[in-house]
Amino acid sequence: MAVVAGWVGALGVLGAAGAAGGAGVPVASGPAAADGPGPAAGFAVVAEVDPSIGQEMRYATPRNFTGAVVDGYDEPVCLLARSAAEALRRAQREVLRSGYSLLVYDCYRPQRAVDRFVRWARDGADQRTKAEFYPEVAKDRLIPEGYIAEKSGHSRGSTLDVTLVGLGAGRREPLDMGTPFDYFDPLAHTDSPRVTGVAREHRELLGRVLGGQGFVNLPEEWWHFTYKPEAFPDAYFDFPVSVASVHR
């Protein structure tokens, strides 16, 4: 199953590359940081901070709304600004006590990936993933309605996409959240009145746990959280998603 593979795959990459170490160089900041690869000093590999956090890094695989591996995702690993990674570790400790685990779908996202999303959204001929990700919204409305943007907080390193999974016997299954991840529809709004019962309870649990550690939810996406204050509030980085980007 993809979730189990995400846990094992991320740790396997770290086993091969995570021992490189290195202090890094001063981090680039400001809008110009998006012009090319920049140093990732001040970032952490989340699996090194807390290996119990699940990872299913969708954009490093074809299982995402573009239907292909996204530019800049060299490895299926979650990178975050260190302050955000440490806060996520604290949130994980809390959900583990309740019999759940966090599962991240995306963390730091290079600007080149954001650019790829925009090109995809403007390609009206490519409708391969419509049934799964945007069945009720016309593709030419994805940018005007804010589902796809030319800049993303993910590129600043303190934003992640995350859900909860159960830790009972057998396979680790994501909890019912009312919609899948990256579902472009008002139903994905965190407080959608159409989401009730256990799905609403799960959304509230996720928001309560992460909110208690300083993460702020984006109301339009139940899975989207930003740690505040951001370590790099004025930066849009473009270094690739890989362990080597952190361990230089």
Q: Which helix (H) or strand (E) holds 87?
A: helix 82-97
Q: How far apart are the first and last CA of the chain?
A: 33
Query: Encoding tokens for residue 134?
Result: 């945007």
Pure H helices in 101-216: 111-121, 130-133, 197-211
**3-class secondary structure, 91:** helix
Q: Which helix (H) or strand (E) holds 48?
A: helix 46-49
The single residue listed with the structure tokens 């400790």 is: 93
Concerning whether 221 is annotated as a catalytic residue, the answer is yes
**3-class secondary structure, 89:** helix
CB 76 within 8 A of CB 7: no
Catalytic-role residue among 173, 204, 220, 221: 221
Cα distance between residue 235 and residue 217, in whole Å: 20
Catalytic residues: 221
